[in-house]
Amino acid sequence: MTNTPTTTWPHISTMDLLCFSHLRWNFVYQRPQHLLSRFAKHTRVFFIEEPMFHDGANRLQINEPLKNVYVVVPHLQHGLTADEICAQQRELVNNLISVMEINKYFSWYYTPMALDFSDHLEPVATVFDCMDELSAFKFAPVALKENEQRLLKKADVVFTGGYSIFEAKRNAHKNIYPFPSSIDREHFASARNIGEEPVDQVSIPHPRFGFYGVIDERFDIDMIGAAATARPDWQFVL
């Protein structure tokens, strides 16, 4: 882990990528990581996360988990107002661009809320990768829908994480494309060659029904419960 660097880090391209994300790089390895790790083979990628709060001075923490992927985490003081948080994030992003000598770049958004502190930037192009309908999540910010409309006006191209989101937003932008998420085939194919059962499943009888994915408010727990009640001989591994 390093703080804001004082030396120039290497360029591998004349065009960098600034990604603004509501998800943390080390949370779940999913769509953003799949795409950005591939982009990093050709250019520097700066993955800017939401701030973390502490008792120290405002600063940026930069980590390089993969070659040319720089995870940027603002650390802000406790007790700041919403306007102060926005102003500090804007200043820290400006410092990042200056210190890292980011000249030409794309802006890639996963969260419209980042527009509050980045709408002054002048990227070569702006991409909105709308992987989820964020306004449907619990505790979604009140300003999310308004910010999404602002981002749709600013974006040069919009991708959606599935066809249902595409159908809901297809008339909101003239350059929008469905870009469904997929799987890491090589990773999951390795499960076909497992010689022994996982230790944590040895005691679970068959038949088993497995699920691999995010369990949140979109997950139909009632359906799983009803199926388990109707078929007590089935085992659901989530």
Q: What are phi and psi of 81, to 5 degrees?
A: -75, 170
- For residues 20 and 137, membership in a common domain is answered with yes
112-128 pLDDT per residue, tens: 999 999 999 999 999 99
- For residues 142 and 214, membership in a common domain is answered with no
Q: Of 158, 178, 198, which residue sits at a domain end? A: 178
- Indicate the pTM of the whole model: 0.81
87-110 pLDDT per residue, tens: 999 999 999 999 999 999 999 999
Please tell me the total count of domains within the chain: 2
How far apart (Å, rounded) are the C-alpha atoms in residues 235 and 40? 41
Other beta carbons within 10 angstroms of residue 195's beta carbon come to 4
- For residues 84 and 28, membership in a common domain is answered with yes
Nearest alpha carbon to residue 141 among 119, 106, 116, 159? 116
- For residues 37 and 143, membership in a common domain is answered with yes
Q: What is the pLDDT of residue 3?
A: 44
- For residues 46 and 133, membership in a common domain is answered with yes
Indicate whether 1 belongs to any domain. Answer: no
- For residues 81 and 150, membership in a common domain is answered with yes
- For residues 109 and 73, membership in a common domain is answered with yes
Does the pLDDT at position 142 exceed 50? yes
Query: Binning pLDDT at 50, 70 and 90, where does residue 6 land?
Result: very low
Q: Give all strands (DSSP E) within the chain, no chain letters.
A: 2-3, 15-20, 45-48, 52-54, 59-66, 69-77, 104-109, 125-130, 157-160, 176-178, 208-210, 235-237
- For residues 119 and 222, membership in a common domain is answered with no
**Averaged over 143-161, what is the pLDDT?**
92
15-47 pLDDT per residue, tens: 999 999 998 999 888 899 999 999 999 999 999
Does the pLDDT at position 148 exceed 80? yes
Q: Which residues contact 149 (CB under 8 A, 6 or more apart)?
A: 172
Please report, in angstroms and rounded to a whole number, the separation of the first and last CA atoms in the chain.
33
- For residues 39 and 133, membership in a common domain is answered with yes
Indicate whether 3 belongs to any domain. Answer: no
Q: Of 178, 197, 229, which residue sits at a domain end? A: 178
- For residues 213 and 120, membership in a common domain is answered with no
Instruction: Write down the mean pLDDT value for the chain.
Output: 88
Give the range of the structural domain holding residue 119, as residue numbers without chain letter. 11-178
